[in-house]
Amino acid sequence: MRTLDIAASGMMAQQMNVEVISNNIANINTVGFKRSRAEFQDLMYQSQLRPGATASDQGDIVPAGIQLGLGVKPGAVARQHVQGTLTRTEGDYDVALDGRGYFLVTLPTGETAYSRAGNFKLSPEGTIVNSDGYEISPGITVPENTRDVMINSNGEVLAYVDGQIEPDNVGQFDIAMFVNEAGLEAVGGNLYLETPASGVPILGIPGQLGFGTVRQGYVEASNVNIVQEITNLISAQRAYEMNSRTVEAGDQMLNTLVQMR
């Protein structure tokens, strides 16, 4: 009897679905977080009567046949890189990208990671870093005697230094785009890594053709829609329950067979 295995595959698939939804809900307040969606595929089929087979010596064709599916399997967990709402913070080093692109983050290993989270800070040396202290490319250092900082839409960091009327341009943010953003590998800490699926990064500066612009004093909120996630959670829970009932039905059928004399 295939029923137990088929229903078990459905329960495992819905368990993973709930785990994906749970992660979305848990990160509803995570800056720059992108929600994920579980996708599934049907398993292979056992053909007892192949469609299109010859049914008689006269050349009659079987119109439908008999194919029995063996359940479901996870196909992918696709990340939805839709922009979240820009939230006002008024922080001097809080910046959000309005449009496509990712900030470049230099990891301690020297590798470059990519992030939409623009809640930046200053290191003890005055370098702009993320919440983990990783430097933001291309390594922008604000002078110690700076009284005010302005970051324009092109990502230029202008420092108003004591004793000077005109601001000093101390650097400009680099950003990157990818042909297939869903192919980026999430590694935690609001960071993504390049993969063969994402393609190589297309580097540029904010405001260039196709690239987003920078908004100072804002951060990009998570793109999780709590109403949609709760609805998906209820649907996944009901699907799990229906698969468990199928297991019970299969068990009862086996018991009936065992008790036959």
Angle between helices 3-26 and 226-259 (to 10 degrees): 160
Tell me, what's the pLDDT at 37?
94
Tell me, what's the pLDDT at 9?
92
Tell me, what's the pLDDT at 261?
64
Q: Which amino acid is at 43?
A: L
* Regions of the chain with pLDDT less than 70: 55, 57, 261
Return the SS3 of 51: coil
Tell me, what's the pLDDT at 253?
86
- CB within 8 A of 223, min separation 6: which ones? 33, 34, 35, 80, 82, 83, 84, 85
Could you state, in order of their start, the residue ranges of all structural domains in the chain?
Answer: 3-81+224-259, 86-220
147 close to 220: Cβ distance less than 8 angstroms: no
Tell me, what's the pLDDT at 63?
79
Tell me, what's the pLDDT at 83?
92
Tell me, what's the pLDDT at 65?
77
**What gap in Å lies between CA 201 and CA 211, rounded to an integer?**
12
pTM of the predicted structure, to 2 decimals: 0.84
- The full length of the chain comes to 261
Give the number of other CB atoms < 10 A from CB of residue 260.
6
CA torsion angle for 14, 15, 21, 26 (degrees, to 10)? 170
